[in-house]
Amino acid sequence: KKYSNDHEWIEVSQDGKTGTVGITHYAAKSLGDVVYVELPSPDMDVNVGDSIGAVESVKSASDIMTPVSGVVVEANNALEESPATINKSPEDEGWIAKIQLTEKAEEEIKDLLNAEEYLKFIEE
């Protein structure tokens, strides 16, 4: 997994064609109890840093930014019924979207933080 400074993560599939995106444990904990998730629509073209949805909690709302460019191929519709899944499992069952990666995305992934770098970032 790779992490952004905006507290999103991406896990690239074994074939390197798609990436699963979600928010980190840190972001989920900071938000508090998630009550609503706005998901991206399939076939949505996205560029790194674009908002692909939002997470609303009892305390605040936060945009979900894509850490890479590509095309949304799937959204985690289970979150509409059960938004609290993001609190329980933000880096597994609480994923937000799957994105078909562009060639540009391969370069963008190199700019993201690894787990160790991300931990250091959130400690600062």
Q: What residue ranges define each of the domains in the chain, with the CATH number in brackets?
A: 2-104 (2.40.50.100)
Instruction: Name the average pLDDT for the chain.
Output: 95
Residue 79's pLDDT band (cuts 50, 70, 90): very high
pLDDT of 77 above 90? yes
Q: How confident is the model at residue 72 (pLDDT cuts 50, 70, 90)?
A: very high
- Those residues with Cβ within 8 angstroms of residue 4's Cβ, 6 or more apart along the chain or in another chain: 10, 65, 67, 112, 113
Tokens (6 digits) for 121:
């970032």
Q: What pLDDT is stored for residue 95 in this prediction?
A: 98
Contact 53, 39 (CB under 8 A): yes
pLDDT at 106: 87
- Is residue 13 scored above 90 in pLDDT? yes
Say what the pLDDT of residue 59 is.
87
Longest dimension (CA), the chain: 39
Write down the pTM of the prediction: 0.94
Structure tokens at 120: 């250091």
Q: How many CB atoms lie within 10 A of CB 2?
A: 21
Cβ-contact 37, 53 below 8 angstroms: yes
